[in-house]
């Protein structure tokens, strides 16, 4: 019986430092995992920000191209010729999957921005 108790005591003594080493390694792994998750989240946020900027630029360029063809807002989509033209233009800017109503909303949303930039440029040129 004493031998069993000594064996258990020696086993506890041996595993006690191993247990601490295991806990330290587990903690290090956890911290590393948190760092990796944080880094991936930052990368994802930068990518999403880039995509939003790219999308805004595409919408603005789409509006400018539509203005070249005399399409300034959703009211101009009444004619079939304008509808065909806007669908063609939308394909070039990655907006081909959108409906005509949605494209009209984009035109209505971008018009004030375009007018504000145009007025600002005119003021700068004076």
pLDDT of residue 9: 63
Q: Report the distance separating Cα 57 and Cα 104, nearest Å.
A: 17
Which tokens belong to 80? 């079939």
Taking the model in full, what pTM does it have? 0.66
Q: Report the distance separating Cα 108 and Cα 114, nearest Å.
A: 10
Identify whether the C-beta of residue 98 lies closer than 8 Å to the C-beta of residue 90. yes
Q: Report the distance separating Cα 24 and Cα 48, nearest Å.
A: 36
pLDDT of residue 12: 56
pLDDT of residue 33: 97
Which tokens belong to 86? 């806007």
Q: What is the full per-residue pLDDT of the chain (126 aa) written as tens digits?
A: 777 667 666 655 555 677 778 888 889 999 999 999 999 999 999 999 999 999 999 999 999 999 998 888 888 888 888 888 888 898 888 887 788 889 889 999 999 998 998 899 988 887
């Amino acid at each position: 019986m004493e031998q069993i108790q000594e064996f258990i005591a020696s086993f506890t003594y041996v595993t006690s430092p191993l247990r601490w080493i295991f806990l330290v390694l587990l903690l290090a792994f956890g911290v590393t995992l948190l760092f990796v998750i944080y880094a991936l989240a930052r990368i994802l946020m930068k990518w999403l920000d880039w995509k939003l900027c790219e999308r805004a630029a595409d919408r603005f360029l789409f509006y400018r191209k539509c203005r070249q063809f005399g399409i300034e807002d959703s009211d101009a989509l009444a004619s079939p010729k304008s509808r065909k033209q806007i669908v063609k233009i939308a394909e070039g800017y990655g907006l081909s999957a959108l409906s005509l109503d949605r494209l009209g909303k984009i035109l209505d949303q971008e018009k004030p921005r375009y007018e504000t930039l145009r007025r600002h440029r005119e003021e700068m040129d004076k």
